[in-house]
Amino acid sequence: MTYQVVNSQQQMLDMIEQCQQSSARYLDTEFVRERSLFPQFGLLQVSDGATTWLLDPLAVEDLSPLWAWLQQPAPLTIFHAFGEDLELLWHEGQIQFGNILDTQVAASMLGWGAGMGFAALVERVCQVELDKSHSRTNWLKRPLSDEQLQYAADDVRYLIPVAQALIAELKDKGLYDACLSECARLALRKERDLAKRYLDVKNGWQLTPQQLAVLRELAAWRYQRAEAKDMALSFVIKDLALVALAKYQPDSMTRLKQLKELSPIEVRIHGSKLLKLIADAKQIDQCDWPDRIYRVVDIPSYKSRSKSLMTLCQQLADDAGVPVASYASKRQINEVLMWQWQGCEESNLPVLLQSWRATVGADAIRQWLQDNTAS
Closest to 312 in 3D by CA, of 336, 296, 295: 336
Catalytic (active site) residue 155: yes
Catalytic (active site) residue 28: yes
Handedness of CA 265, 247, 303, 329 (dihedral sign): negative
Q: Which of 3, 26, 28, 176 is catalytic?
A: 28
Catalytic (active site) residue 251: no
CA distance 357 to 181: 10
Q: Which of 3, 26, 151, 198 is catalytic?
A: 151
Work out whether strand 3-6 and strand 52-55 pair parallel, antiparallel, or are unpaired: parallel
- Count of other CB atoms within 10 angstroms of residue 91: 15
CA distance 156 to 48: 10
Q: Which of 56, 155, 239, 266 is catalytic?
A: 155
Catalytic (active site) residue 30: yes
CA distance 202 to 221: 16
Determine contact, residues 224/194, Cβ cutoff 8 Å: yes
CA distance 241 to 243: 5
Q: Which of 3, 26, 30, 92 is catalytic?
A: 30
CA distance 315 to 259: 51
Determine contact, residues 63/57, Cβ cutoff 8 Å: yes
CA distance 162 to 318: 25
CA distance 155 to 198: 37
Q: How many H helices and E strands in the chain? A: 17, 6
Q: Which of 26, 48, 56, 85 is catalytic?
A: 85
Catalytic (active site) residue 85: yes
Active site residues: 28, 30, 85, 151, 155
